[in-house]
Amino acid sequence: MREFKDFLHLVRTRRSIRRFKKEKIPKNLLDGILEAGRWAPSGLNNQPWRFKILGGKEKDDLANFTKYSSIVKSADKVILVFLDKNSSYHYQKDLMAIGACIENMLLYIHWQGWGGCWLGEILNRREEVNKFLGLKDNLELCGVIALGKPYRKISKGKRYKLSKLLL
Amino acid sequence: MREFKDFLHLVRTRRSIRRFKKEKIPKNLLDGILEAGRWAPSGLNNQPWRFKILGGKEKDDLANFTKYSSIVKSADKVILVFLDKNSSYHYQKDLMAIGACIENMLLYIHWQGWGGCWLGEILNRREEVNKFLGLKDNLELCGVIALGKPYRKISKGKRYKLSKLLL
């Protein structure tokens, strides 16, 4: 696990990175991220996730669809994650599977020493995003990962104590 | 990463384990699993996940609510994962966060050399499960993880090629 002591260390130190250095993402990093996502579990192994990668001007134009445009603009690339409704068998379970898929990608990004930010506010304008990208209605935008080299050292995260979460 | 070469190796070798040895789960393993889940990302960091652990007779009684009863009975323990609707701010994003939380737990279980199975069919009877456990309506069952020592060596998984997933 590179500089990580163990899996818990990896999970605990992952953060949303909102500002990035001007550093290009190598092709093999991008391949690894998608590979990690591709191996997520899904109900009946239906693998409902689909990916679209944007960089350059297309990425900067996508920034217009979210109030977090500065994160998208700062990122070298973004990965859009869609639910393919033609592959769906149970909407709630598909969404959880896509959450697992995104988490795999975020953990891989962090493990490789890069940074990601899971953006959700842009879903408010998912129809417009589809139109902008020329994608059909069966593809439902579920999340966007902004991706790049973290600008500064990551801060400490906060979580509820376990006692609040245990029933 | 113990016997794992890297994060991709961990992700690629994780499988749904449906039959377990009669081996007790140590307390510190269970603590680690919940710790991994607790550190998942969520929208606005709302952490909508709640956990209930069952073992022994209560676990075996839970088996009555799913056609996959043999998996639940074979497991040493099960972890029920709920969405607390009182903590919800966006239902779809909450479900994805819970998927990320469950994936963290499944990866930790696998990393530790144990096995888990993410069960979803039981959601068909979530209201009855809540009644059985005396839980209020704000808690929506989202998934059950069956947990134990794998009975046999795990098999190879299958995923679509990346070319099918890229838009």
pLDDT for position A4 = 81
Number of A to B CB contacts under 8 A, please give it.
170
Cβ atoms < 10 Å from Cβ of A121: 15
Query: What pLDDT, in 10s, does the model give residues B47-90?
Result: 999 999 999 999 999 999 999 999 999 999 999 999 999 999 99
Sheet strands (E) in chain A:
49-55, 77-84, 115-119, 139-148
Residue B2: pLDDT band (50, 70, 90) is low
- Counting Cβ atoms within 10 Å, is residue B141 exposed (0-12), middle (13-18) or buried (19+)? buried
- Return the amino acid letter for B167: L
Portion of chain A with pLDDT greater than 90, in percent: 93
pLDDT at A156 over 90: no
pLDDT for position A153 = 82
**A6 interaction partners in chain B (CB closer than 8 Å):** 1, 111
Backbone angles phi, psi at B102, to 5 degrees: -65, -40
Sign of CA dihedral B57, B145, B40, A129: negative
pLDDT for position A5 = 79
Contact A111, A10 (CB under 8 A): yes
The 3-state DSSP class for residue A81 equals strand
Contact B21, B116 (CB under 8 A): no
Domains and CATH numbers, chain B: 16-151 (3.40.109.10)
**A115 interaction partners in chain B (CB closer than 8 Å):** none
Min Cα distance A108 → chain B (Å) is: 7
Min Cα distance A22 → chain B (Å) is: 25
Query: What pLDDT, in 10s, does the model give residues B103-149?
Result: 999 999 999 999 999 999 999 999 999 999 999 999 999 999 999 99
Query: What pLDDT, in 10s, does the model give residues A47-102?
Result: 999 999 999 999 999 999 999 999 999 999 999 999 999 999 999 999 999 999 99
pLDDT for position B1 = 46
- Return the amino acid letter for B25: I
Cβ atoms < 10 Å from Cβ of B154: 14
Tokens of residue B113, six digits: 């050399």
- Counting Cβ atoms within 10 Å, is residue A59 exposed (0-12), middle (13-18) or buried (19+)? buried
Nearest alpha carbon to residue B80 among B43, B23, B27, B133: B133
Tokens of residue B154, six digits: 């795990």
Backbone angles phi, psi at B118, to 5 degrees: -85, 110
Asked if A159 and B93 come within 8 Å (Cβ–Cβ), the reply is no
Dmax (CA) of chain A: 48
ipTM over 0.90: yes
If you average pLDDT over every residue of chain A, what do you get?
A: 96
Q: pTM for this one?
A: 0.96
Interatomic CA distance for residues A120 and B90, integer angstroms? 10
Portion of chain A with pLDDT greater than 70, in percent: 98
Query: What pLDDT, in 10s, does the model give residues B24-54?
Result: 999 999 999 999 999 999 999 999 999 999 9
Tokens of residue A21, six digits: 């250095």
Nearest chain B alpha carbon to A83: B165
Asked if A98 and B96 come within 8 Å (Cβ–Cβ), the reply is yes
**B88 interaction partners in chain A (CB closer than 8 Å):** none
Interatomic CA distance for residues A103 and A6, integer angstroms? 17
Interatomic CA distance for residues A108 and A84, integer angstroms? 23
Contact B77, B148 (CB under 8 A): yes
Nearest chain A alpha carbon to B54: A167
